[in-house]
Each structure stands twice: as structure tokens, then as C-alpha cells.
Amino acid sequence: MGSPTMMFFLLLLTMLAWMAIPLIPAFMELMRPRDAAPLDAVGNDAGNLTYFAESFTARATREGLLGTMVPPRLSDGTTVRTHSVGQPLPAQRKAFEEFIVLMDSEPLPEGTELASECLARLTVRGSARVTYRALLGQRDVYLGPQSVVQRWVHARGRLEVADNSRLWGRATAERQIVLGTNVAFDRLESDVIRVTDVETAEAPVLPTGAYERFVPKKARELGPAYWRVEGGVSIPAGSVLIGSLIATGSIVVNDGARITGSIKAHGEVIVRNGAVVVGSVAARDRVTIERGARVSGPIISETAVVVEAAVVGGSGKRTTVTAPIVRLLPGATVYGAVMAAADGLTVS
């Protein structure tokens, strides 16, 4: 009797275990919720974006390129050539292979190609269609129309890039970056990054009592002021959601609404005119920050991010915008870094 009974219970336990296998992810989500965690970030760069510029500065100092007399060669034998108003580089079709030192602000000839590194000791005033392999500006850097930077550019002051230029690799500045339209980029970093001089109307952050409070219907509360909704959510115009929100669909933050925490959508996110998100925005699909909106925290998308004439981050609160595709419109203002893993572009 004992043996058949034991076999029955073993068979029963086996069947129960087999039936429970499909439920394991649900049990794991219940015990340790991952749905509240950030989405997989794309285009992450754990390194310092100014690493090349810092290394280049140290090298220039060692080689004596910042002194009164510029040496004719570097320690590795590379020839050094200087460019100045008194002794300019000639216009030529062939690329300059030498290490170039710009002694003053005299523009290079249009269409010049520099195949090696370039050090600018004063403000750079670039001509049209100049190609730089790598450029370090000890002061401000102004790149002319249709300029190309192949690896990196760093300005100790302001970096301004004219229309139809290409910034491959890293573009950084210690004060600010101002981009024209149709400027392609990979990675940007500065205290503030702007597209053109279009004025950006920054949405005011009012006390929560100035809004009508909104609580999503049929939402599951994961924690204090931490909501999860099956499907999409539309935050009514002029209302406030106190806390953070996760949706398995899309999230639309309508005109003038405010979210005091962060939002994450498995669909797309749209932050409309005058709306404010105090925390971060994350989505699997596209994120659109419309004109006049404001997001204080990072913006992450696994697809694309579009920032119109809106503000991301704030003075003294640097943040990051990252996605495979990033589009910045005139008036877009980002305090911190913008990283496009596949395709970054300013558009009109």
C-alpha cells in the first residue's frame, strides 16, 4: 500500500510542478518587480566624453605646443605646422597630414582637410567645408557651414556649429554648445546644449495645489505613489499626478499637466505643450517632448527621442537624452548630454 501511495504523491507533485512552470515569471515579478526598473538603455557611454580632449591637452603640454615657441616635430617624429594671419596654410586639395597648430583666429582656407589632430590656441573661426580629424580649442570654437569633425571636438568655452555640419564621435564644450539646423551628431555634452537661437518658453513649475489631482483608473499601486496601469494612460490637461507611473501601453501627458515623479511606458510617451515631468521619462517606443514642455530628469527610449522647443534638465541639474535616433528641433535645450546610438540630427 505504501509504495502505490508514494508513487501517487510523487506523480501529483510532478504534475503540479509542471503546471506551475508558466507561472514562474509572474511569481518572480510579484516577489521582485522588474517592471518598475528602467528600460534597457541604448547608447550608454560609461566613459567620460571629454576623455580624448583631456588626454590631448596633457600631450600638448608635454610636447610644448602651448609655449612661446612651437616645436617643428613631436616626440614621435610627427611634423608640426602652424597657421596664422602672418603665415597661413595654403589652399590645397590634398589633406594636410601634419599636426596643425592654429596660432590665432585666422580662418583656414575653405575646403581644407586636416588628416591629423589640430590644436587651436585662440578662438577658432572656421571657414566652410573644413574637415577636422580632431580639434581642441583653448577658447571658443565656431565651425563654419558644412564642417566635418571625424573623431572629436572640444571647446574650452563655447562651441557653435553652423548648418549642414557633421559631428561624428564626441562634441563637447565647457560652457555651451549651439547647433544650427541639419547638423548630424553622435554624442554631445556641455552645461547647456541648444539648437539655434530660437527662444524657448520654459513651462513654470507650480505648487501641486494649483492643479486638479489625477489618479489613474484601475491602477495597481506598487508602492506609495507608485502606479502601474495595464494599457495606455492619458493625463488630463491641467491636472497633476503625484508620484510615478508605469503603463504597458502609451502615456500622454496633456497640455499643462504635471507629474511629480517619473513615467515609463512600454509604448510611446508624448509630453505636450506646457506639461512638466519632474522625474525621468522612459519608453520602448518613441518619446516626443513638445514645444513648451519641460522634463527635469533623463529621457531614455529604445527607439527614438524627439525634442521640440522644450527644456530637458536644468541649470545646475545636468541630465541625459539617449536613444538610437534623436531629433532636436530649433529651441530644443538640454542641460547635460545627448547621445544617439545610430542617428542624431537637428532639424528645422
Domain parsing of the chain, residue ranges? 51-174, 208-346
Q: Which of 122, 66, 73, 113 is nearest to 89 (CA)?
A: 113
CB under 8 A, 24+ apart: contacts of 28-37: 33/222, 35/222, 35/228, 35/246, 36/222, 36/226, 36/228, 36/246, 36/264
Q: What is the pTM of this model?
A: 0.84
Q: Assess whether pLDDT exceeds 90 at residue 8.
A: no
User: With the CA atoms of 56, 57, 63 and 66 taken in that order, what torsion angle do they form, in degrees rounded to the nearest 10?
Assistant: 140
Name residues whose C-beta falls within 8 Å of residue 268's C-beta, 6 or more positions apart in sequence: 250, 251, 283, 285, 286, 287, 288
d(CA 153, CA 197): 21
Phi, psi dihedrals of residue 43, rounded to the nearest 5°: 70, 20
Q: Which of 13-17, 232-236, 295-299 has the lowest mean pLDDT?
A: 13-17
Q: Would you place residue 41 in the very low, low, confident or very high pLDDT band (cuts 50, 70, 90)?
A: very low
Whose CA is closest to 225, among 235, 211, 214, 239? 214
Of 217, 257, 251, 263, nearest to 239 (Cα)?
257
| Gap between the Cα atoms of 64 and 275, Å rounded | 52
Residue 38 has pLDDT above 50, yes or no: no
> What mean pLDDT comes out for the span 129-155?
98
- The answer to whether 80 and 66 have CB atoms below 8 angstroms apart is no
Find how far residue 154's CA is from the centre of its chain.
17
Q: Residue 35 is placed in which grid cell?
A: 517592471
Distance CA(310)–CA(297), nearest Å, equals: 13
Q: pLDDT tier at 11 (50, 70, 90 boundaries)? A: low
